Amino acid sequence: MTLPPRAESRLTLDHACEITRTGDIWIFRGDSVADHAIRLLTNAPVNHVGMAVVLDDMPPLMWHAELGKGLLDVWTGQHQRGVQLHDLREAVVQWTGRYEQEAWLRQLDVTVTKEMEDALLRTIARMDGTPFPSTAKLIGRVARGKARRVAGAELAYCAEVVAASYAAMGLLDSDRPANYYDPGKFWSGDDLDLMRGARLGAEIRVLTP
């Protein structure tokens, strides 16, 4: 699926890291065979999504799921595959550099309360380290989700992680399982039906070195 034409706002990576806040969505699109396969399987215009986690005086973090283990997971202090919490800047540099992806930021417009942060941290504690599904199992999880059937908690892909986190924070209705969501659901062409009066801003293209 191709991206719809649009006039884009642009930010440098340094500026994007300065302004990103908990709940902001980071979206990626690449041209590798695997990237095209994911978009074909999910019928989405993008192939990866992550979520910013910005707490107290810590540097901004990226909460997502991927096959690689090149970056340190700051929750466990280990290099691991699957669901991971990374330094956000390092994650974006890896996805735009090593993985040759385009990157966009969508900012969340809502007040994130202490209770929402606590719910997010419980979700991170529960899901961090969960393995990423194989291609066949990814297809099965997405298919079950479209039928509103919950998939098992033993695996998780990127959009599933973000959706589960949003649901825990009270931003998504739990009537739809986390595996209902694919990366394209977080692109502005889809209506997420956010709760608490929240909304996501338009995509801002992030320019990296």
Per-residue pLDDT of 167-206, as tens digits, reads: 999 999 988 999 999 999 999 876 789 999 999 999 999 9
Assess if residue 3 is contained within a domain: no
Interval 29-80: pLDDT, tens: 998 887 888 888 777 889 999 999 999 889 999 999 999 999 999 999 999 9
**Is residue 206, in this structure, part of any structural domain at all?**
no
Task: Report H helices in the chain.
Answer: 13-19, 33-42, 88-93, 114-127, 135-146, 158-168
In a domain, 1, yes or no: no
What residue numbers bound the domain in which 125 lies? 9-197
**How many Cβ atoms sit within 10 Å of the Cβ of residue 148?**
11
Q: Domain holding 139: CATH number?
A: 3.90.1720.10
108 found inside a domain: yes
- List the one residue out of 52, 36, 89 whose CA is nearest residue 166: 52
Strand order from edge to edge, sheet including 204-207: 9-12, 204-207, 101-106, 25-30, 48-53, 61-66, 82-87
Number of domains in the chain: 1
Asked if residue 65 is part of any domain, the answer here is yes
| 27, 185 contact by CB (below 8 A) | no
